Amino acid sequence: MAQILRNHMGRNHNDYNEPSVQPKNPYLVTMEEDILYHFSLSTKTHNLPEMFGDIKFVCVGGSGIRMKAFAQFIHQELKLPGSPEEIKNICEGTDRYCMYKVGPVLSVSHGMGAPSISIMLHELIKLLHHAQCHDVVLLRLGTSGGVGLAPGTVVITDKAVDYSFRPQFEQAILGKVISRSTELDEGVANELLQCSSELQNFPAVVGHTMCVHDFYEGQGRLDGALCSFSHEEKCDYLKKAYEAGVRNIEMESTVLAAMCRVCGLKAAVICVTLLNRFEGDQITSPHDVLVEYQHRPQVLVAHFIKKRLGYIV
């Protein structure tokens, strides 16, 4: 297995036929230096092709601690030399995000909500472009509230939808609202679903993921500091979401899907449900159960990566 990975990593990144990641910004080519401020990296101070040119899988998640744990987990799964405990945070010069490189896998934190992940994605997409990466898949590993699903179910997103169940991401730019499509790569989603069927006792579904702007009122919770609706209105909204194909709710998927789609980066969203929102608002499962739930997206993505690298036939 180690030889498979060495063969894979030994290939020049220009050998791949897939187009490189392409930021859609004509001004980038005019810049003498591109400072990736929130990563504490720069095109002048760092050799980005040498550091990142062999990246094939970018795995992102909200928590820095969780993404470090994933980096250590994938290090063990790929049976790489050295100790997983020695993996270093590439972004240690900043406290905004964490980044760990494990062979062809990059593990990056993105914080909570669309603004935080948007900032990270701008700099990540430019990083992959400057590093001349090819044939990259980006995977978001996260947690979510289930809609009509039992806690612990892993949802593989086919479409990220907004609060009105539309597959689009709207952003105000220079006073105008711009709308971008949020459809994710169907082939990657199907691969992930197939991988889930190869794991024992692993509940997984493909469905729409609704992305909203906050954790409380935006998700129809009754337990926040503010609540401007009734229990009946909440249940009616969740029922409409379910009928529209929504199977979970989180706060990052639409901007991720939109940005990756525009820049030619294949992407997937894999989130485990921590509760069924039809049954309540607060997360009440025991800590050890929640830890096991949160590990499920990591297990699925590790299986996917190993299959792509030829570890598993």
Per-residue pLDDT tens over the stretch 167-225: 999 999 999 999 999 999 999 999 999 999 999 999 999 999 999 999 999 999 999 99
Residue 85 CA to residue 66 CA, distance in Å, equals 14
φ, ψ for residue 82, nearest 5 deg: 90, 175
pLDDT score at 20? 79
Q: What is the pLDDT of residue 75?
A: 97
Q: Which two tokens stand for residue 200?
A: 């024992």
13: left (phi over 0), alpha (psi -120 to 50) or beta: alpha
- What is the C-alpha separation between 273 and 48, in angstroms, rounded? 36
Beta strands in the chain (DSSP E): 35-36, 41-42, 57-61, 99-102, 105-109, 137-146, 154-161, 168-173, 176-181, 204-211, 246-250, 266-276
Residue 3, token pair as written in the block: 């030889």
What percent of the chain has a predicted confidence (pLDDT) above 70? 94
In this structure, the strands spanning 266-276 and 137-146 are parallel
Tell me what pLDDT residue 19 has: 47
Instruction: Give tens-digit pLDDT for 210-262.
Output: 999 999 999 999 999 999 999 999 999 999 999 999 999 999 999 999 999 99
Per-residue pLDDT for 299 more than 60?
yes
Residue 2's pLDDT is what?
47
Residue 4 pLDDT level (bands cut at 50, 70, 90): very low
Instruction: Point out which residues pair with 246 in neighbouring strands.
Output: 208
113 Rama class: left (phi>0) / alpha (psi -120 to 50) / beta: left
Q: Whose CA is closest to 55, among 311, 308, 312?
A: 308
Cβ-based neighbours of 41, under 8 Å, separated by 6 or more: 35, 48, 90, 91, 123, 127
Q: How far is CA 253 from CA 22, 25, 97, 229, in A?
A: 20, 22, 18, 25
Cα Rg, the chain, nearest whole Å: 19
Q: Please give the backbone phi and psi of residue 8, each rounded to the nearest 5 degrees, phi first.
A: -65, -45
Kindly state the DSSP code that residue 52 receives in the 8-state scheme: H
**Residue 76: pLDDT band with limits 50, 70, 90:** very high
DSSP line for 117-162: HHHHHHHHHHHHHHTT-BS-EEEEEEEEEESSS-TTPEEEEEEEE-
Write down the pLDDT at residue 9.
45
pLDDT of residue 185: 96
pLDDT, residue 306, reads 97
Mean pLDDT (whole number) for 58-78 = 97
Question: Who's near 42: CB < 8 A, 6+ residues apart?
Answer: 33, 34, 35, 36
The whole-number pLDDT of residue 81 equals 93
- Would you state the pLDDT for residue 11? 44
